[in-house]
Amino acid sequence: MPNKNKQRLFPVCTQEELNVLNSKEFILYQNNRPYFGLVVQKDDEIFAYTNSCPHQGRMLQWKKDRFLNKDASRIMCAAHGAMFELHTGICDAGPCVGKRLKPLRVVRENSVIQIEL
Ligand code: FES
């Protein structure tokens, strides 16, 4: 019997695209509804989160594909400056300290970055 809750992998970008800014936004469509997300990388690790700030639910990016603060050590929300750890998505400064971005599982296969939904 097929498992209706089985999660699937969706390609969202290539490693080369992610290397440009170390962050990349994506939109996936499920049942004709958009799902907004982002991927970020630090050294050789890649993390993905839903693109929704736990403060007020706004999207996080400053400009297209730009999510990181100046020294690329945090994801920084463009709306009110909340800062999130790259590897946990936990807010450690700003208006929603202690809350976290919703993590997504990342699979890198060759140079394709995929997200599990
Ligand atoms: S909506 Fe992100 S800090 Fe306010």
Question: pLDDT at position 90, please?
Answer: 98
Per-residue pLDDT, averaged over 91-102, amounts to: 98
C-alpha distances in angstroms, 87 versus 6, 28, 56, 72? Answer: 25, 22, 21, 12
Q: Are 60 and 94 in contact (CB under 8 A)?
A: no
Question: What's the residue count for the chain?
Answer: 117
Evaluate whether residue 109 is within a structural domain: yes
The gap from C-alpha 28 to its chain's centroid, in whole angstroms, comes to 12
C-alpha distances in angstroms, 5 versus 1, 8, 42, 101? Answer: 12, 9, 31, 22
Q: What's the CA-to-centroid distance between 82 and ligand 1, angstroms?
A: 6
Does the pLDDT value for residue 31 go beyond 80? yes
Per-residue pLDDT, averaged over 52-66, amounts to: 97
Question: pLDDT at position 5, please?
Answer: 62
Per-residue pLDDT, averaged over 43-50, amounts to: 95
Evaluate whether residue 84 is within a structural domain: yes
Q: Which protein residue has the closest C-alpha to ligand 1 atom 1?
A: 56
Could you identify the atom of ligand 1 that is nearest to the CA of residue 82? 3
56 lines ligand 1 (CB under 6 A): yes
Does the pLDDT value for residue 3 go beyond 90? no
55 lines ligand 1 (CB under 6 A): yes
Evaluate whether residue 1 is within a structural domain: no
Query: Which residues constitute the domain of residue 90?
Result: 9-116
Q: What's the CA-to-centroid distance between 11 and ligand 1, angstroms?
A: 28
Evaluate whether residue 42 is within a structural domain: yes
Does the pLDDT value for residue 1 go beyond 60? no
Q: What's the CA-to-centroid distance between 99 and ligand 1, angstroms?
A: 11
Domain count, the chain: 1
Evaluate whether residue 3 is within a structural domain: no
CATH number of domain containing 36: 2.102.10.10
Evaluate whether residue 2 is within a structural domain: no
Evaluate whether residue 63 is within a structural domain: yes
Evaluate whether residue 64 is within a structural domain: yes
- DSSP secondary structure letter of residue 66: B
104 lines ligand 1 (CB under 6 A): no
Angle subtended at Cα 36 by Cα 91 and Cα 58, rounded to the nearest 5 degrees: 50
Q: What's the CA-to-centroid distance between 2 and ligand 1, angstroms?
A: 40
